[in-house]
Amino acid sequence: MQITTFTFSALVLASELSMISAKSVLEVPTRVQGRHESLNDALRREAFQVVDPKVDRRAPAAASASSAAAAASSAIANFDTPEWNATTIAACTKGLSSVKSAENSAGMLACYNLPFLNVNTGVFQADLRLYQVNEMTGDFTGVQTDQLSLSLTYPDATVSETGSSVKVKRSEIGPRSPATSTVTQAAGAVNEIQQFQFVGQVDTTLTLTKIRSDQQMSLLIPTIKLSAPSAANSGVTVSTNLTSADTVYFVNGVFKGQSAAGAAAASTTAIAAASSSAALFVVPGINFGIFPIGFIITGIWTVLFGAVVGAGTIGRQRFRESYRNRVKRANTGFGGRL
C-alpha cells in the first residue's frame, strides 16, 4: 500500500514538473516578443519626432504635380523644334501639291496641324501655315503678302498666339505680321509665306473624352479669315475666308493622316453636333433660370399673395372668436342679440 502511494505521488510530482517546464518554455517567447514590441514602439516614436509624417505622405503628390508640370513644359518647349518644322513643311507641301488653284481671291492655301492636345484638360497647340498658290485677284489685286493679317474663329475655344497676350473666344485674332519670310521653292510648288503658332484651351464646359476623334476635330478646327488694306481704295479693308477646299488638315502631329476627316469635321453641322455631345450634363432644378428680373417679379407676387391670404386668415380667426363669445353670452343670459 505504501509503495502504491509513493508511486502515485511520484507520478503526480513528475506531471507537475513537466507542466511547469512546458509553461516556462511557452512564456519565454511571449516575454521576448513583448520586449521586441516595446523596442519597435520606441523607435517609431523617435522616428516620428524627427520626421513629419505629413511631409512623407505629401511627397508622392508633389512628385506627381511636378511630373505633370514638367510634361506640360516639355510639350510647350518642343512646340517649334527644327524636326517639327521640317516634317510639317514636307507634309504640307505634299498635301497641297494636288491643289492647282485657290478658291479665295487672295490666292492662298492653308495647312493646319495640332502638335499637341490633352483631351483631359482641353489644352492644345496649333500650327497654321499659309501658302500662295496663285496670284491675288479681285479685291486683293495689288496687295502685298506682308500686308495680310490673319483672323481665327474657334467654335468653343480660347486661344492666344505664342508669345502674345491676345486671347479670344468666338472672336478674331488679328492683325498678325508674318512669322516667317517668303520661302522660295521649286518651280510649280506652293510657297510658304506665313506661319502662325497658337496655344489654346477648349471651353471647360465641354468634355473631349466623351466624344469621338472626328468630333474632337470639329471643336479644334478654326474658321480662317484673311484681310488686308485695299490697294485700289485707300482706307478700305478687304477680306476673304479660306474654306475647307483651300485648307489641308492634320498632315502632321495629332490626328495625323486624317485630312479628309478633318475637312468633313469643319462643317457647321458637325461642329454643332460635337458641341452638343461634349457638353456637360447639367442637373435640372439647381439653378434659378429666371434670375434676376423674373425672380424679383415672382418674389413680389409671392409676397402679395402671402399678405392677402394671411390677412384673410387672421380676419376669419377674429370673426370666429367674436362669434363664439356672442354665443357664450347668449347661452348664459347676459348677452343681447346674436
Question: What are phi and psi for residue 111, nearest 5 degrees?
Answer: -125, 120
Mean model confidence pLDDT for the chain = 73
Q: Tell me the C-alpha distance between 206 and 281, whole Å.
A: 10
Confidence (pLDDT) at 175: 43
* Average pLDDT of span 173-199: 59
With 60 as the cut, is the pLDDT of residue 46 above it?
A: no
The answer to whether the Cα torsion of 116, 121, 122, 125 is positive or negative is negative
Task: Report the greatest alpha carbon distance in the chain.
Answer: 145
CA quadruple 133, 197, 263, 217: dihedral, nearest 10? 180
| 157 and 126 Cβ atoms separated by less than 8 Å | no
Task: List the end-to-end C-alpha distance of the chain, in Å, as a whole number.
Answer: 121
Q: Tell me the C-alpha distance between 41 and 125, whole Å.
A: 55
- Which cell is 140 given? 486683293
**Model's pTM, two decimal places?**
0.57
Any alpha helices (H) in 172-233, and if so which ranges?
213-220
- Which cell is 122 given? 482641353
Q: Tell me the C-alpha distance between 192 and 252, whole Å.
A: 16
Question: Residue 115 CB: number of other CB atoms within 10 A?
Answer: 20
Would you call 229 helix, strand, or coil by DSSP?
strand
* Average pLDDT of span 166-187: 39
Q: What is the pLDDT of residues 279-310, one digit of tens each?
A: 877 777 777 667 778 888 888 999 999 999 99
| 249 and 160 Cβ atoms separated by less than 8 Å | no
The torsion region of residue 255 among left (phi > 0), alpha (psi -120 to 50) and beta comes to left
Give how far Cα 3 sits from Cα of 8, 9, 11, 12, 16, Å.
9, 10, 12, 14, 20
| DSSP-assigned letter for residue 129 | E
Place of cell 480662317: 224
Would you call 40 helix, strand, or coil by DSSP?
helix
Q: What is the pLDDT of residues 53-102, one digit of tens each?
A: 443 333 333 333 344 344 444 555 455 578 888 999 999 999 998 888 88
